[in-house]
Amino acid sequence: MVATHALPVGEEDSAKRRQILDGARKVFMTLGFDGASMGEIARAAGVSKGTLYVYFTDKNALFESIVEQEKLEQGKAVFNFDTARDAEATLAEFGRGYIQLLCRPGGGSAIRTVMAIAERMPDVGKRFYEAVLAHSIRQLAAYLDARVKAGELKIDTTELAAAQFMMSCQATLFQPFIFQAKPTPSPEEIDRVVDSALRMFLAAYRA
């Protein structure tokens, strides 16, 4: 049995709800949780302030929905982890795509915004980490498992190795980027750093 007059709050996917989420994401990601005001969100979404409260019980709930949505979208960023391809090409391609994603304008926004609030909203932080960051690690680790099985690599703990590779690809790029200490890195810089990280990785883990 389906409710014919379901409350908007219940509808997980009305057009209005999506419209609000889209406006709110921009504002939250730009200004952070505290810096974002419900008024500005309403304006960005093109709805009235009152309507916000029809779809979301309060600012926190709206923010959590944004993070939820962000999790889904960042989770969608698929990399070509064809387990038949060799590690060198696959990892180089993945590393470049990964850093480009992180360091594109607005790319660190979700990470920054969620990290900023993590102390006050630990659940939000934890769920985001699990769904986005740990998820990527697990994807890469699964690929590494396959290449270990294929005899190309020799790795004890693939999850740790995956995280190591991802972190070393960020070296000198991501932190200056989110701290606004350097501008968006060029493709050449990314290539250089990822190549270096890849060389280190293969030196250690090539079978």
Partner DNA sequence: CATGAATGAGCATTCATTCAT
Partner DNA sequence: TATGAATGAATGCTCATTCAT
Under a CB-based contact definition with an 8 Å cutoff, are residues 90 and 82 in contact?
yes
SS3 15: helix
Of 129, 135, 142, 191, the one binding a copy of itself (CB under 8 A) is: 129
Q: Could you say which of DNA, a copy of itself, none residue 199 binds, taking C-beta under 5 to 8 angstroms by partner kind?
A: a copy of itself
Q: Does 92 bind a copy of itself (CB under 8 A)?
A: no
Full DSSP string of 39-70: HHHHHHHTS-HHHHHHH-SSHHHHHHHHHHHH
Binding positions for DNA, 44-63, rule CB under 7 A: 47-55, 58-60
Q: Which residue is it, tokens 């250089």?
A: 192
Q: Does 36 bind DNA (CB under 7 A)?
A: yes
Residue nearer to DNA on the CB measure, 7 or 203: 7
What is the number of residues in the chain? 207
Q: Does 199 bind a copy of itself (CB under 8 A)?
A: yes
* Cα–Cα distance for residue pair 96/8, rounded to 1 Å: 41
Cβ burial of 177 (10 Å; 0-12, 13-18, 19+) is buried
* Cα–Cα distance for residue pair 80/83, rounded to 1 Å: 9
Q: Does 201 bind a copy of itself (CB under 8 A)?
A: yes
Q: Could you say which of DNA, a copy of itself, none residue 59 binds, taking C-beta under 5 to 8 angstroms by partner kind?
A: DNA
The contact set with DNA (CB under 7 A) reads 5-8, 16, 36-40, 47-55, 58-60
The contact set with a copy of itself (CB under 8 A) reads 30-35, 109, 112-120, 122, 125-126, 128-130, 133-134, 137, 156-157, 159-161, 163-164, 166-168, 170-172, 175-176, 178-181, 192-193, 196-197, 199-201, 203-205
